[in-house]
């Protein structure tokens, strides 16, 4: 029976060791401040808007070009 208990406790020990190591690594992480998070979020939103506008304009131009090329417009 002793061999059976070893097989159960080993995964538990490995899990505990993993969680301890993960906690140690999380303490090393530089967590951004609220201001840093807000600033980077604003940058991401602005970049998405600019790229989305650019791609929308290119799509519109190319769509009109293809429609005129194929004679689909009035």
pTM of the model: 0.60
Question: What's the pLDDT score for residue 20?
Answer: 96
Read off the pLDDT of residues 30-50 as tens digits, 9 standing for 90 and up.
999 999 999 999 999 999 999
Question: What's the pLDDT score for residue 1?
Answer: 46
Question: What's the pLDDT score for residue 74?
Answer: 61
Q: Is it the case that residue 5 has pLDDT exceeding 70? A: no
Q: Tokens for 34, please give them.
A: 């609220």
């Amino acid at each position: 029976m002793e061999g059976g208990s070893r097989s159960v406790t080993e995964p538990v020990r490995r899990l505990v060791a993993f969680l301890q190591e993960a906690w140690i690594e999380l303490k090393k992480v530089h967590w951004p401040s609220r201001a840093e998070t807000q600033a980077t979020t604003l940058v991401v939103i602005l970049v998405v808007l600019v790229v989305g506008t650019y791609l929308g304009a290119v799509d519109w131009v190319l769509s009109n070009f293809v429609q005129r090329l194929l004679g689909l417009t009035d």
